[in-house]
Structure formats: structure tokens, C-alpha cells
Amino acid sequence: MRRPSGGGLRRMLSVVGVAVPVAAAVAGCLPAPVTAQARATSTLWTQFVIAAAVVGAIVWGLITVAIVRYRRRPADAGSIPPQIVDSRNLEIAWTVLPILTILGLFGLTLVALGQVDARAVSPRVTVDVTAYRWQWRFDYEGTAVSVAGGPDQPAEMVVPVGEPVHIVLTSVDVAHSFFVPAFLFKRDAIPGHPNEFDVTIDEPGVYAGQCAEFCGVFHDRMTLRVRAVPRDVFDTWLAGQVPAAPSTSAAPSASAAP
Ligand SMILES: [Cu+2]
């Protein structure tokens, strides 16, 4: 095999030096997306990392060239290099190129936001998610099924896999936040202001979540689970639930503050 020349070796090392950190960052810093919406977020994140890597490589490359090629040498003692006051072409380039870059990233962001916030026309499952200090309650619309967590038992939301599940998120006391890392998604639960969104989970599994808005002394206990199961398993589970007794209180008594 032909060995690379000095210049070729340097080029190869510089390519590897950029590609390896980028690949490691892209592959390792984000949980694997498990919903259709999370894939849009993940794709956007990768696009931003690539854009940042390219800009970083250009900036660091030019700085390195300037330092090495135009460094002060012994023969330069007592003299200063030519002083260039301005360059119209250069100034146009470093004004226009960043603007185009930002506009491109803005456009990609709008596309991803549209995909994350897209709503199914008629989802078959709608869950009213209610946050309260310090747990969660899941009410399945069109049924009397209500699942609430307790102090030592996180609430579990069972949903069908592979189809959009509509979530109506609210809070009965203070601001909380619904966060499931594998969904790459977080949305605030605000009293009196329901937030609505869809999630379409790709793979069956149990996904851990938690409140992501500091809400009081037992904020850390506001964990939850989302269990995604095939549609027939979901139907069986839903049919087997004991309807919740009518309640006059929005939050179960187990959540009462000490
Ligand atoms: Cu909370």
C-alpha cells in the first residue's frame, strides 16, 4: 500500500481529527429517539452539530494557518507586516455567510417544530395528564379509567405503540413539566393552561419520565413511566381497569403536602 506523503498525511489527520469528535458527539450525547417526534428532534440536533463542526473547523483552521504561516520570525525583528485596513469582499463574505447559515438553521428548526407539534386528525387515544404536587394522574378520555401515582409508586401511563396518542397536559397547583428523556421532549404543565401534543411511540417498552420543573420539596418524587404496548395488549389492559371512583378533588389525597 502506498504511504501517504507528508501533506497527504496531515490532510488525513485533520479530517480524522474533525470527523471522530463529530461522530462521537452525534452518536453519544443524545438518548436514542423512540418516538416519531423525537426522530425529528434528533435529526435537527445532528444538523446543528454538523453545521457547528463545519463552522468550527473553518474558524480553527484559519486561526491555525494564521498563527503558523504568519508567525513572527527572527528575520522580522524591527519590522511590522503590511497593515491592511479593510477588505470589502472579506467583510461582505463574513456578513453574508453567517446570515445564510442562520437562515438555513432557522428553516430547519421550523421544519422540525412542525413535525414535533403536528397533531393527528383523529387519534384513537387521548390521555388527560394532570400534574400535582407530587405525582401524576392519567385519565383516559372516553372511559372512566384513571391512573394516579402515589408517594412511593410512580404513575404509569399505558399507551398503544405505533399510533399517535394525544396528550392534554395540565396542572392543578403549580407549574410542573412533563419530561420523558427517550421522547427528546419536555413540555410545561401549567395551571389553567392545558398544553396539547401527540406522541407516536415506535417501539414497545417502558420509558422513564419525571417532572422537570422544580415544584417544591418533593419535586424529585414526581417520576412516571410510559409503557408502550401493542394495540391488542392495550385494549385488554384498558378493559381490565377498574373505573375510578368519582372524586371531588383534582388531586388524590396521597399527594397532600406534609
Ligand atoms: Cu413537579
Q: Which CATH architecture has domain 125-244?
A: Sandwich (2.60)
Determine which helix (DSSP H) or strand (DSSP E) holds 232, and give its type and residue range. helix 231-239
CB 158 within 8 A of CB 10: no
Task: Point out the least confidently predicted range of 30-34, 65-69, 137-141, 254-258.
Answer: 254-258
CA of 50 to the centre of ligand 1 (A): 35
| Model confidence at 34: pLDDT above 80 | yes
51 Cα: distance to centroid of ligand 1 (angstroms): 35
Q: Looking at residue 191, what is its pLDDT?
A: 97
Measured in Å, residue 214 CA sits from the centre of ligand 1 at 6
138 CA distance to ligand 1 middle (Å): 15
pLDDT given for residue 21 in this prediction: 67
Q: What is the pLDDT of residues 206-237, one digit of tens each?
A: 999 999 999 999 999 999 999 999 999 999 99
Distance 152 CA to ligand 1 centre (A): 15
Mean pLDDT, residues 175-202 taken together: 97
Give residue 80's pLDDT. 85
- CA 28–ligand 1 middle distance (angstroms): 28
Expressed in angstroms and rounded, the spacing between residue 235 Cα and the centre of ligand 1 is 30
Place of cell 456578513: 95
Q: How far is the CA of 213 from the centre of ligand 1 (A)?
A: 6
Spans of all domains in the chain: 8-70+87-116, 125-244
Tens digit of each residue's pLDDT (9 = 90 or more) over 12-32: 667 667 766 666 665 557 788
Burial class from Cβ neighbours inside 10 Å (0-12, 13-18, 19+) for residue 236 reads exposed
Task: Annotate 236-251 with three-state secondary structure.
Answer: HHHHCCCCCCCCCCCC
Ligand 1 centroid to residue 211 C-alpha, Å = 5
Q: Residue 171 C-alpha to ligand 1 middle, in angstroms?
A: 9
Distances in whole angstroms, Cα of residue 144 to Cα of each of 156, 210, 245, 247, 248 = 16, 25, 9, 12, 15
Distances in Å between the Cα of 239 and the Cα atoms of 158, 168, 246 are 12, 22, 18
Query: How far does the centroid of ligand 1 lie from the alpha carbon of residue 174, in Å?
Result: 8
In this predicted model, what pLDDT tens digit does every residue of 115-163 receive, in sequence order? 999 999 999 999 999 999 999 999 999 999 999 998 788 999 999 999 9
227 Cα to the center of ligand 1, angstroms: 20
**pLDDT of 73:** 86
* pLDDT score for 79: 86
Centre of ligand 1 to C-alpha 42, Å, is: 26
Distance 83 CA to ligand 1 centre (A): 60
Q: What's the 188 CA to ligand 1 centre distance in angstroms?
A: 9
Percentage with pLDDT > 90 across the chain: 71
What's the CA-to-centroid distance between 109 and ligand 1, angstroms?
28
What is the β-pairing status of strands 176-180 and 185-189?
A: antiparallel
Average pLDDT, the chain: 87
pLDDT for position 86: 87
